[in-house]
Structures are given as structure tokens and as C-alpha cells.
Structure 1
Amino acid sequence: MLVFLDIDGVMVPAKGWKTPELLEDGFPVFTQESTTALKSLLSSETRVILSTSHRYRYSVTQWKQIFEKRGLRITRLGRLASAATPSKRKDEIQGWFNSHPIPKEFIILDDDKSLHSLPESLKNHWVETPSLVGLTTKNLKEAISQLALS
């Protein structure tokens, strides 16, 4: 399974009026609900591609430590390529698929509204998370049953 993972609005609720709680590493705490939901997708075969705007703020090793500190062990971790000019998340994800073979099983966890413009073949794998809540086991289960990946 391949998982494209955003952070703000997925693992951390995007509440602009409220400063998120930070752990000692300086990165926000993930909600218990989002951690539980993501953990249900993870196995030794799961590859996670960070699509978050924070993806180059830390090295891959540091990201693994951030996830580990929050109860998530991700062994196969990568990042979307950084665009030369700022681009929409939709374009970044679509660009990845334009240069890689499409895996049999993949899911996109993101709250970015630009993903509504993805081609149907990709959009059908998108779990649109509610920005103020983030990823929940309920919206993940609904998406997985829709994708017949369970």
C-alpha cells in the first residue's frame, strides 16, 4: 500500500485561531484519532509519501523520529519532490503519478481542496479529511470499503 500523507488538517487539526500543542521536538501533537486511523494502514510493506508543505522542513530520518515519538513506526518514508515554483497539491501529486507507475493499492490522505480537480482515477483514492477534525477511523473505513482495499 502507498499512502500520500498530508499533516495539517489530517494528523493535526487545522485550527488557525488556536496554536497547536507541541512536543519537545517542536512539532505539533497528532490527535489520538488520526494516529489510530493511520496506524491501521501501516505495515512493513506500507510506503508513506509526505505531501505536506512541511515535508522539507525535516530530513527523512527526522520525520521518522517525529512519527515514532507520536506512536507511529514508518519504515518506508519518502517525500513528494519539491517544485521549483510553488504549486498546488493537486499538481504535485499528479506529477508524482506522471513519473511513477500507478500502484495497485494507494490512498491519498489530505484536506486540500485542490484535489477535487484530480483525474477521477486518482480522486477515487482520495480521503478528504475535515480540516478542523483531521483523519478519523470513520472516514478512513468508509474510504477503504469504497476502494475495496480492506
Structure 2
Amino acid sequence: MPSIEMTKAIKSPAQRVFETVAHLGEFAEAIPTITAAECLTDNETGSGSQWRIFRDIGGKERSTVFEVLEYEPAEWVRIVSEAGGATWDAGFEVTAKGKGKSGGSELIWTLDATPNSIKARLGLPLLMGAIEKALAPDLDAVKQYCESGS
């Protein structure tokens, strides 16, 4: 199963960073390539919440449904989606670093891909580097969004 792990230090309280990645509507606000987000459930956050996210990918708008499977307030959220012949399992772990005004947080984003087709099984290992490169700006956008106090 191909996997990616990225870490970002953010000069913002851990609670703020967690709210940004765990609430998919807010996450959508932070990421410039996300064009719209639509909540599909009564609950916008927490286990069981589902969102349809619309994203500009190479000049074309694509939509994907994301579901929160695990939610540990202020610490961990696990979100799953189906796209491109694979199941994408993303985990966001947030930890506080330092104290007071000099404090901040660390965001660790893990992404596992489980292929659901032969084509994906063959292609995913080759594409993971490009996917990581494409997602790195999302971490930068979350950092900027949280640090700007948006």
C-alpha cells in the first residue's frame, strides 16, 4: 500500500490547526485549489460527517466525497475518500509545541492509498511522488491560513 507522510511546523495553537483540518468546510477555505465544499450530513464535524469537495485539478473541476471515520478532538482526525481507482486514507495528527506566544503546533499528514483496480495497483506506486509534490502546497496553505488568523 503506497503511503506518504508530511510534517509542518505551524505558529498557531494546536486547537486552531486541528479545527482547520478536521472541519472540511474550513479546510476548503484554507486550500486555494478547492473551489467549493458541500456538507452532506447533519453534522459538519466529527465521526460520520461527509463532505463533497470540489477542486480544480489541472484546469478541470473534480469532486470527491470525504468521510470522517475517526475524530479525537484537538488531536487526530482520519478522513477517507474514493477516487482514481483507489481508497485514500488520510490522517491528520496535531500536537502542541512550546508554550505561550512562542508556542505553536506540529501537523503530521499521512496518506495511504489502497488500489481498487489493477490499473491503480500498477500506477499508484509510480505516482506517489507526484501526488506528494502536488499535496505539499496544501500543507503550506494550511500553515498560512492558521498563522494569518483567518
Report the TM-score, using the length of structure 2 for normalisation: 0.30
Q: Which has the higher strand share?
A: 2
- Structure of larger gyration radius: 2
